Structure 1
């Protein structure tokens, strides 16, 4: 399984993560092209190399036409200043504009200027953001995961300020780079073929920051809310190192871990830079590699029978469960009392994730209870490779047992793209990819 392990020793923000993913191999031009599909209007994407305490890292940022209006991302969030400039969010790691005076000499910029398809308002609520994402030309999976992260962000703000989600308003200008950070990270992870994300203890920073409401503790209230369920600590640096966007991305997409996951074998390290120069390297380090879960051992299966839920909700619930650490998730048609057709929703999980996954089952479905029981399993280790066909490249997943290859599976989405592009049938592309993989692996 292809995974990334994130080390947030200097905090995390959306643009730090996206900078690291670009450093890991996501083509900047591809990202810029995909972001145009959001139809956000005029902005510039900044991508440059920087050095933080001797570490060469990639710095990503979003420059908007009127940076002086770029003072508040969310209506209930707080204004911060640093070197006379306003921040996009709470802290150094997100968008700070002190470097823009010389960016023409040192950055790779892509300027996007197009008529936005949506009417501009002074503020946008979650419904407006959802409309932008839903009506973009991005892939449906990217839309869904991006909206999940934005929803987590809005829900945290609503809770800490005693408001409803609809009352949390995103500043029109500030929302643009948050959308790009979130959708860009989701897109980059998909491009790299990442199936699971692990995150270390998250360094939040400490102290207090000035804001519109007065002095606020670090981490800011919304960030602290989002970090519930994730391992985090203040550390000794009196700066705001983790932003709400970074916390929301980890809340939705990542699984917290105390150390490098057992069974992880890294193949590449990448760095995304923050803005400030700190006493430690202000970078986010990610390691990309393969992860082989324990072949045996005790696991749990959690189940609930559901006969009164809209069928459209099941894919969303399954996606949430898998992102939160479920090892597998499936539906089984059943007949309940009085002859009612229903579904059993089953989740295979590690015992340490029981509480988190049970919470999702009880909040995202109509079930009033969950049962669980112990199971044992044995697995064949999965590995990945890539084959080249005349039509293009296809990622291959294959399984081994006792050193022998026992299964080969071409990546469906890769084959689908090549079939549509070439005019050949999908099954022909898949067969050709499997044959090429078999020859290559032998």
Structure 2
């Protein structure tokens, strides 16, 4: 079972709050210090402490800058150079750079310039670099593979920044929040910072209510720097989605699908991903693994992708309880970089298996029925093949005989 994280941002999200929550969840101070020390930057002191926000104990993390050391306004390439030079895992480097790249794209769009020319002001300082790299490193250290964020509030009012007085959410934050549900809330403060927005926009897999089937194993809190009329904390629930073995998953669906009238609508998920740069044999192997892991159906659809490239849409029908496991198989076995999911209804006939006798041996037959009336009877292909090979009789004769004995 893969570890997941649900973030409840009712009091906003910032880089230091994110790290504080990860520290509270078990990310060690020593590991964070080691990560930060690998960055070729200076002029800071790390602060760790426990604090209480309106009765909730939380971990406060902060980066205190040396007022006597000048912090330059950096371009994206400068930040990339800093991260690339650090002795960190490739995954931490790639994800950290992805966060700053997304932030640069938002800033460039707001200011009408290019990613290469955009100057990072507040978010280019050492504290922002530490917040981003520390967060990504913490997620890796805790083994977090899926993140969902909900209850996002930005605050309202105005904030003073390098460009003057700006509305909340700040323009770059608003740009980063495209496609992400949020409200401003009732607090007149900047609760969701550009760094926090860039982190969730880049790292989160989905947004919204607490996921169905998610089981919390630990609740952690990262403290913010404000004393507000609500607890200024980021709540992070560390947990898992329960995984069923394939036989259990199919039994759950079978039980859901049968009632006194032999049918019932069953709530399932369809997972979809478009792939245009993967060996078809690899996709075929992935399909086998998905079936073995409990997928109810897996299929490919030829599609035409951008620039006229031929591709494959890989689709999977599955119970929600094994969604995470199947997504992991797709990411692990194919070149997919993103998976869509949506709920579907399935009306299923009652199904049972019987054995019938042919002149050459026994064959299993799958029988589907509605209200006691048989709708179809299908001989098991593998059984028919085995008898055909053993007897030397054509396969179609074996299948015909098995079908006619019903």
Quote the residue 2:199 is aligned against: 249
Shift, 1:231, TM fit: 1.3
State how far apart, in whole Å, the 2-side matches of 1:46 and 1:23 are. 14
State how far apart, in whole Å, the 2-side matches of 1:163 and 1:256 are. 29
Matching of residue 305 in structure 1 with residue 305 in structure 2: no
Please identify, of 373-382 and 144-153, the stretch whose mean Cα deviation from structure 2 is larger.
373-382
Structure number with bigger Rg: 2
> What is the number of residues matched between the two proteins?
286
Where 1:186 maps in the other structure, the secondary structure is helix
Where 1:154 maps in the other structure, the secondary structure is helix
Quote the residue 2:358 is aligned against: none
Going from structure 1 to structure 2, the CA distance change for 1:160 and 1:171 (only over 3 Å counts) comes to closer
Going from structure 1 to structure 2, the CA distance change for 1:265 and 1:300 (only over 3 Å counts) comes to closer
| Preserved CA contact (<8 Å) 2:47 2:61 | yes
Please identify, of 2-11 and 228-237, the stretch whose mean Cα deviation from structure 2 is larger.
228-237
State how far apart, in whole Å, the 2-side matches of 1:232 and 1:369 are. 37
Quote the residue 2:46 is aligned against: 45
Matching of residue 271 in structure 1 with residue 271 in structure 2: no
Q: Which runs of 5+ in 1 are unaligned?
A: 71-121, 307-330, 335-341, 349-360, 384-442
Quote the residue 2:6 is aligned against: 5
Map 1:207-246 onto structure 2 (within 5 A). Answer: 207-246=157-196
Where 1:260 maps in the other structure, the secondary structure is coil
Matching of residue 376 in structure 1 with residue 317 in structure 2: yes
Quote the residue 2:35 is aligned against: 34
Quote the residue 1:158 is aligned against: 108
Map 1:14-413 onto structure 2 (within 5 A). Answer: 14-66=15-67, 122-171=72-121, 174-292=124-242, 295=249, 297-306=268-277, 331-333=278-280, 372=313, 374-377=315-318
Shift, 1:238, TM fit: 1.2
| Preserved CA contact (<8 Å) 1:298 1:374 | no
Where 2:116 maps in the other structure, the secondary structure is helix
State how far apart, in whole Å, the 1-side matches of 2:238 and 2:5 are. 4
1:242-290 C-alpha deviation (Å, 9 max, x unpaired): 0010000000111333321111110111100111100000000001111
State how far apart, in whole Å, the 1-side matches of 2:77 and 2:70 are. 22
Q: Which runs of 5+ in 2 are unaligned?
A: 254-267, 291-303, 326-406
